[in-house]
Amino acid sequence: MWRIGIAQIDIAIGQRDRNYKKAASWMENFFTPSELPTVIVLPEIWDVGYAIEEGEKFADPHGEQARNFLGGLAKKYGVWFAGGSVLAKTEAGIVNRAQVINPAGELVSEYDKVHLVPLMDEDQYLTAGSKMGTFMLDDIKAGCVICYDIRFCEWLRAYALAGSKILFISAEWPKIRIDHWKSLLKARAIENMVYIVACNRVGNSKDTLFGGASMVIDPWGEILYEGGEGEEGYFIEVDPEKVQPIRDHLQVFRMRRPELYSGLCE
């Protein structure tokens, strides 16, 4: 069993110190010790908010500052952080980078958002990633994706085929399309027989209202937790060992016909 903490918070644009204090305050207010290993999930670009057009000004070189900050919290509370992306400056450009940090405060994995949102001009301001974000939670394989990625069913299917039992999703998803968010998350859980752990931000930025509705969904598609529209925190237990029996029972992966799909969807 694992315990998952969803940090559904508001984010201040360009105010890194304020957002760091918000994350630290969330841990102080909501965290309680447990014998179960615990993973905390933050929203997309939780460090500086959706300031992509000012990436050169606000981006954290290689995400190092955020990594050190979360590493300190991880050691203090003895938890993992999985997901919660930051605006990171790299040699290739500005990226939207999810970080995975273990209870020793060490960075164990990072994932740069692969699918950039043209409606938000992300493709103009950011550099897309090109690698899957899988990692090991002790002996459990898991993965990170970010927001718009969930619209690409084949990308999340690739994580499932690679053995991921939990997918952590960080987002800044607007309220106006929150029904899409809920439907897509449930579909991704059902079709891949995987736990979906999704943390969305709340509040307003640049005339956009973000919808919250963070969710934890089990491999059968049952909603175990759904957040509201305001700031909140919630902890829930999940059992990754339930995943493989469901996959064995339904046999979807075994019955795939990839030789027929190849070239049809390009």
pLDDT of res. 266: 58
Our count of domains for the chain comes to 1
Q: How confident is the model over 81-107, as a mean pLDDT? A: 97
Strands 38-41 and 80-90 come out as parallel
Over residues 54-83, the mean pLDDT reads: 97
Per-residue pLDDT, 206: 81
Catalytic residue chosen out of the listed positions 22, 113, 165, 182: 113
Tell whether 112 is covered by a domain.
yes
pTM: 0.97
Looking at the predicted structure, is the pLDDT value of residue 264 above 70? no
Domain extent, residue 169, equals 2-256
Domain-embedded: residue 204: yes
On whether residue 261 sits in a domain, the answer given is no
pLDDT at 207 over 90: no
Active site residue 147: yes
Q: With residue 187 as reference, give the H or E element that holds it.
A: helix 178-192
Tell me, what CATH number does 164's domain have? 3.60.110.10
Q: What is d(CA 55, CA 60) in angstroms, rounded to the nearest whole number?
A: 9
- Quick: pLDDT tens for 6-34: 999 999 999 999 999 999 999 999 999 99
> Rounded to whole angstroms, how far apart are CA atoms 5 and 3?
7
pLDDT of the residue at 261: 87
Is the pLDDT at 170 greater than 70? The verdict is yes
- Residue 93 has a pLDDT of 97
**Could you tell me if residue 104 is inside a domain?**
yes
Q: Are 126 and 116 in contact (CB under 8 A)?
A: yes
Nearest to 203 by CA among 5, 9, 7, 6: 9
The burial class, CB within 10 Å (0-12 / 13-18 / 19+), for 231 is middle
Which pLDDT band, with edges at 50, 70 and 90, does 265 fall under? low
263 inside domain: no
Nearest one of 94, 135, 128, 91 to 113, comparing CA atoms: 128
Residue 259 phi/psi, 5-degree rounding, is -65, -25
Q: Could you tell me the CA-to-CA distances from 238 to 74, 111, 170, 184, 217 in Å, in that order?
A: 20, 23, 18, 20, 9
Residue from 122, 144, 147, 165 carrying the catalytic annotation: 147
